[in-house]
Amino acid sequence: MDKFALTGHPLGHSMSPLIHERLFALSGLDAEYSLIDIEPKDITESRPLILQHKGMNVTIPHKQAVIHLMDELGDSALRYNSVNCIKNDNGKLIGYNTDCDGFLLSAEGLPIGGNVAILGCGGVGRMIAIETALHGGNITLAVIPQDVKTAQLLMAEILEKSNGACVRITDISELDGKFDLLINATPVGMYPKTDACAVSDKVIENSGSVFDVIYNPIETLLMKKARAMGKTAVGGAAMLVYQAVKAHEIWYGGKFRSEDIDNIITEVGKAVEAMNK
């Protein structure tokens, strides 16, 4: 039986086992998926443990720390200096970043090449902003005052990675204008503070579509408001599942039908709702 795992610290409750077990079952593979909590002080010595697995997922705070354990990095891992997926290729460890694939696949059909407002500029916000720029989007980074310096560094990185990109920075409280897509990459609206929304109704009204990286709750207040206005709204559960799907493609060439992926996204939603009761 092939062994796979997720490592991070602390791990707490994770949807990963549910998602990966469903994907292995769809592929007809007899595989085991476990959670391995590794403290930061021990991650640098974890290569022998990683080599005991056919593949691993990596989450906070180890996405950068595992890089020096890799023999090779994929383009996405090099682009973000971040590894969240490891393939053990007969003792050769190859690091990838499938977070970007999760975003792009779950946002398929959304106008990421148009005028895009991104709320937040942290880890996931950075990745989304860079991918959006690489796909031709005109970006407005809307941030709180204490994040302006981080946003400026991100803007410089975007301009370096995407020649000719259009980026501006604004205070999130002063966000104005019309946008093809509004992306929330902040924790505002996350469980248990589900009655919070990062922007005003006017900003939502002036946005064609909405993408929220949060998956707990499955439908954030931002998404509820957007849908009530007749707009398309996609949540973080799809991104979570699609980054796992990409990992299975990397590990053993897994292929999945879109309806099967949709069923897993629905199952994740039900599991999250049950967890919150």
Could you read off the pLDDT of 79-132 as tens digits, one per residue?
999 999 999 999 999 999 999 999 999 999 999 999 999 999 988 999 999 999
User: How many C-beta neighbours within 10 Å does residue 89 have?
Assistant: 14
For the cut 90, the answer to whether the pLDDT of residue 163 exceeds it is no
102 domain residue, yes or no: no
For the cut 90, the answer to whether the pLDDT of residue 249 exceeds it is yes
Neighbour-count burial of 109, counting CB atoms closer than 10 A to its CB (0-12 exposed, 13-18 middle, 19+ buried): exposed
Q: What is the pTM of this model?
A: 0.93
The continuous run of DSSP H or E covering 36 comes out as strand 31-37
Domain containing 205: what range?
109-234
DSSP letters of 141-196?
EEE-GGGHHHHHHHHHHHHHHSTT-EEEEEEGGG--S-EEEEEE-SSTT-TT-TT-
Q: 121 and 23 in one domain?
A: no
Tokens 């190859």 locate to 94
Q: Cα 117 to the chain's mean position, in Å?
A: 17
35 domain residue, yes or no: yes
Task: Report how far residue 117's alpha carbon sits from residue 176's, in angstroms, rounded to the nearest whole number.
Answer: 10
Q: Is 63 a catalytic residue?
A: yes
For the cut 90, the answer to whether the pLDDT of residue 277 exceeds it is no
Q: 191 and 140 in one domain?
A: yes
Average pLDDT over residues 53-66: 96
User: Looking at 3, 41, 54, 63, which residue is catalytic?
Assistant: 63
Q: What angle do CA 162, 164, 166 make, to 5 degrees?
A: 90
Q: 154 and 66 in one domain?
A: no
Q: 217 and 118 in one domain?
A: yes
Total domains in the chain come to 2
Which CATH number is 267's domain given? 3.40.50.10860
- For residue 205, the model assigns a pLDDT of 98
Between helix 236-252 and helix 16-27 the angle, nearest 10°, is 50
Q: What is the dihedral of CA 64, 66, 68, 70, to 10 degrees?
A: -120
User: What are the structure tokens assigned to 163, written together?
Assistant: 């020649």
73: which strand partners?
Answer: 95
Which CATH number is 171's domain given? 3.40.50.720
- For residue 123, the model assigns a pLDDT of 86
- What is the percentage of the chain residues whose pLDDT exceeds 90? 96
pLDDT in tens, 180-233: 999 999 999 999 999 999 999 999 999 999 999 999 999 999 999 999 999 999
Q: 47 and 115 in one domain?
A: no
Sheet with 85-89, edge to edge strand ranges: 31-37, 2-8, 55-58, 85-89, 92-96, 72-73
